[in-house]
Amino acid sequence: MKKRSSKAYGSSCRKQNTAAAPSAFQPGHSLCCGGIVRRNKNLRLALGLGKLPDSAFVFGTAEGHVRDPDRITQDWKRFAAARGLPKVTLHALRHSHAWALIASGTDPVTVSRRLGHGSPVVTMAVYAHLFDRGDESAAQAIDSAMGIGD
């Protein structure tokens, strides 16, 4: 089997700020990026390796290097099966995360940053249909701002 380049996984697998994420995985949960980062940090401290840089991979090794994406996928499958979770791919979880952020009203720039996109343009190209809330809400916002219809 041909190995995939780890460069393709760089931006989307980098550490993300989870503090304000309105997602099903709350900060501190072992599935949440914060839980993974915390676990890696504790392992590094126990080994006397110190703190990882902010650019470290969330699913990286204790040394901060990228892990084989196929290994991450297999680990996820075992983790989910052991806990009786639905068979959902990591990529589907990524899209679910994006959908949950958009559905909660999170702005496109924040969604873009959370997903590791290089620009909100990328996010909008993929998820624009989820941001469509119709012209009625835009008209109501303008009416309200102008004091019309109160």
| Domain end point (choices 71, 86, 101) | 86
- The answer to whether the Cα torsion of 94, 98, 99, 101 is positive or negative is positive
Q: Are residues 53 and 98 in the same domain?
A: no
Residues 95 and 79 in one domain: no
| Cα–Cα nearest to 93, from 23, 39, 29 | 23
Which residues form the domain of 28? 8-86
Residue 2 falls inside a structural domain = no
Same domain, 43 and 30: yes
Q: Tell me the C-alpha distance between 112 and 146, whole Å.
A: 31
The answer on 104 and 74 residing in a single domain is: no
Residues 71 and 39 in one domain: yes
Same-domain check for residues 29 and 42:
yes
DSSP helix/strand/coil, 103: helix
Query: Looking at the domain assignment, is residue 23 inside a domain?
Result: yes
Residues 80 and 95 placed together within one structural domain of the fold = no
Same domain, 12 and 82: yes
Of 104, 132, 140, 115, the closest CA to residue 16 belongs to 115
- What would the pLDDT profile of 45-101 be if each residue is shown by its tens digit? 888 887 777 777 777 777 778 888 898 889 889 988 999 988 989 889 889 999 999
Q: Are residues 74 and 101 in the same domain?
A: no
Q: Which residue has the tokens 């309200």?
A: 144
How many domains does the chain fold into?
A: 2
Report pLDDT for 50.
78
Cβ proximity of 112 and 119 under 8 Å: yes
Residue 15 included in any domain: yes
d(CA 97, CA 42): 26
Whether the pLDDT of residue 1 is over 70: the answer is no
Confidence of residue 41 (pLDDT cuts 50, 70, 90): confident
Last residue of a domain, one of 48, 69, 86: 86
d(CA 49, CA 43): 9
Position with higher pLDDT, 131 vs 14: 131
Which of the two residues, 14 and 36, has the higher pLDDT score? Answer: 36
Distance of CA 57 to the CA centre of its chain: 12
Rg (CA), the chain: 19
> Based on the domain organization, do 62 and 40 belong to the same domain?
yes
**Are 118 and 68 within one domain?**
no
Phi/psi of residue 147, nearest 5 degrees: 75, 25
